[in-house]
Amino acid sequence: MQVFYSSTRGGEKGVPSSRAILNGLAGDGGLYVPDSFPALEVSFDDLARMDYRDLAYEVMKLFLTDFTEEELRSCINHAYDSKFDVPEIAPLRKADGAYFLELFHGKTIAFKDMALSILPYLMTTAARKNKISNRICILTATSGDTGKAAMAGFADVPGTEIIVFFPKDGVSPVQKRQMVTQKGKNTHVVAITGNFDDAQTGVKKMFGDRQLAEDASAKEIQFSSANSINVGRLVPQAAYYVYAYAQLIRSGAIKAGDSINITVPTGNFGNILAAYYAKQIGLPVKKLICASNQNNVLTDFFHTGIYDRNRPFILTTSPSMDILVSSNLERLIYQSCGRDAEKTAAFMKQLRETGRYEITDKMKAELGDFVAEFSSEDEVAAAIRKVYEDEHYVIDPHTAVAASVYFRYREESGDETPTVIASTASPYKFARAVLHAIDAGKFDSMTDEEQFDALHEVSGVKIPNAIEEIRTAPVRHKTVSSVEDMQKTVREMLGI
Ligand SMILES: *Cc1c(COP(=O)(O)O)cnc(C)c1O
């Protein structure tokens, strides 16, 4: 079955997947959604016998129907190889009666690697299919994590360049070191003298600048984005939920056809939407549990049907979830109003203009698969401590948001369905917060360096390469630019 994509706002229809990946966002500002959901073609028992790559192929081929088998398998094989530090790619670990799906074994030790290690290959393949011979240049503004994961994915991928802008004084010391030491001849990093919003606005301006696009095109370069709304990020994420299910069968924890719950620590709503897509193609999921930190816009939305971003922005120990506008929610809104693009566009207009919209009771009734709750900072620390004390297993603060929400849900609902928790970052990425939760008196006074060694002792988990690298790697990127000069910097870097 061929699957085509439409914009959630009605401006584009019948778009093949390769085009949707190249474009990222639809021309009308909407998000690409599949016109229908295909169904898994192999049995769960067969899936349970497959390795990550073969299983990912079975899931991704359903959505990316204009890629040939050879093309798609080549993308998958290039992405999910020894750059992951375990052969399972995404292992499942049981602790405190839940199954933690470890999505942090890639290059930057966070779950965004799962999608960003394959996106460059999907994009260059899509360009070839569409007879585009230009080099693809990714422009990205980052508040810390996404830019690094995107660079790690695109580094030295033939036919691509990547330029990342980060706020000079707005990222953590570890994040900054990770970026300025990035390897790869095609990677470019720019510290800007402004905040993340300035960087983001500057990048958006460049995407809309016709002269820049023309001048780039004359040099056979075209710009693209690696944003989390890209279909090429969403589809690879659906694969690991099916893989988690297959691992549960393999280990004997469930039988093919049994239901599971999935709990996801949520920010931009991309990861949990992928779990929802996995359900649509036939994964037996009972509840999708949407876990937020104190920026609990989504919890309120699922409880009341009102999305309201007008509230204080709270800085938490799970910074990748400090988000007040979850862009991927637009895809669920579209689905829940019966795929009505006009209605979806109207809600998004309200959100832009007033920061708020309210869905109808009928739409709300369509969201019954979801449970939503949030965790306070104290609860997050308590969950890290509990899992450590019970199981000697150390989880990061993002994962702890989900664990805390899930433990409370299980107790209050009595729902004992086997539950997968998306474990989205290595504790090493947030060593200070993790050790503070485990024993503040003992660890708080240590330097960052000492903490990595302490975490090694506490967890028994080897210090990942990503951490070893930043300890020793030389600084390669020293460019600093003002917000006004961002475009000038891009032109210089690309020779246009
Ligand atoms: C990005 C991120 C999240 C949130 O994922 P969304 O797809 O944006 O909901 C959660 N945890 C970590 C560690 C992340 O980097």
Distance 91 CA to ligand 1 centre (A): 18
Nearest-CA residue for atom 8 of ligand 1: 268
HEC assignment per residue over the chain: CCCCEEECCCCCCCECHHHHHHHCCCCCCCCEEECCCCCCCCCHHHHCCCCHHHHHHHHHHHHCCCCCHHHHHHHHHHHCCCCCCCCCCCCEEEECCEEEEECCCCCCCECHHHHHCCHHHHHHHHHHHCCCCCEEEEEEECCCHHHHHHHHHHCCCCCEEEEEEEECCCCCHHHHHHHHCCCCCCEEEEEECCCHHHHHHHHHHHHCCHHHHHHHHHCCEEEECCCCCCHHHHHHHHHHHHHHHHHHHHCCCCCCCCCEEEEEECCCCHHHHHHHHHHHCCCCEEEEEEEECCCCHHHHHHHHCEEECCCCCCCCCCHHHCCCCCCCHHHHHHHHCCCCHHHHHHHHHHHHHHCEEECCHHHHHCCCCEEEEECCHHHHHHHHHHHHHHHCCCCCHHHHHHHHHHHHHHHHHCCCCCEEEEECECHHHHHHHHHHHHHHHHHCCCCHHHHHHHHHHHHCCCCCHHHHHHHHCCCCCCCEECCCCHHHHHHHHHCC
Cα separation, 177 vs 346, whole angstroms: 42
Of the candidates 18, 278, 233, 332, the residue with the CA atom closest to the CA atom of residue 3? 18
Nearest-CA residue for atom 14 of ligand 1: 320
Give the confidence band of 144 by pLDDT, cuts at 50, 70, 90.
confident
Q: What pLDDT, on a 0 to 100 scale, did the predictor assign at position 291?
A: 98
Distance 144 CA to ligand 1 centre (A): 12
Structure tokens at 17: 């997947």
Please state, rounded to an integer, the average pLDDT across all residues of the chain: 95
pLDDT digits (tens, 9 = 90+) for 183-212: 999 999 999 998 887 888 888 889 889 999
Q: Is pLDDT of 338 > 80?
A: yes
Cα separation, 475 vs 274, whole angstroms: 36
Q: Is the pTM of this model over 0.85?
A: yes
Distance 267 CA to ligand 1 centre (A): 5
Indicate the Cα dihedral angle 199, 200, 203, 208, nearest 10°: -140
pLDDT digits (tens, 9 = 90+) for 119-140: 999 999 999 999 999 999 999 9
Ligand 1: does its nearest atom lie under 6 Å from the Cβ of 112? yes
With a CB cutoff of 8 Å and minimum separation 6, the contacts of 299 are 290, 292, 372, 373, 374
Ligand 1: does its nearest atom lie under 6 Å from the Cβ of 140? no
Cα separation, 336 vs 287, whole angstroms: 16
The whole-number average pLDDT for the span 427-448 is 95
Ligand 1: does its nearest atom lie under 6 Å from the Cβ of 321? yes
Distance 423 CA to ligand 1 centre (A): 10
Ligand 1: does its nearest atom lie under 6 Å from the Cβ of 146? no
Q: Is pLDDT of 27 > 90?
A: no
Ligand 1: does its nearest atom lie under 6 Å from the Cβ of 67? no
Q: What is the DSSP letter of 427?
A: G
pLDDT digits (tens, 9 = 90+) for 228-241: 899 999 999 999 99
The whole-number average pLDDT for the span 428-436 is 95
Distance 282 CA to ligand 1 centre (A): 24
Q: What pLDDT, on a 0 to 100 scale, did the predictor assign at position 146?
A: 87
Q: Is pLDDT of 172 > 90?
A: no
Cα separation, 64 vs 60, whole angstroms: 6
Ligand 1: does its nearest atom lie under 6 Å from the Cβ of 270? yes
Distance 62 CA to ligand 1 centre (A): 24
Distance 171 CA to ligand 1 centre (A): 16
Ligand 1: does its nearest atom lie under 6 Å from the Cβ of 176? no
The whole-number average pLDDT for the span 446-453 is 94
The whole-number average pLDDT for the span 16-42 is 94
3-class SS at 479? coil
Ligand 1: does its nearest atom lie under 6 Å from the Cβ of 120? no
Q: Is pLDDT of 173 > 80?
A: no
Give the confidence band of 471 by pLDDT, cuts at 50, 70, 90.
confident
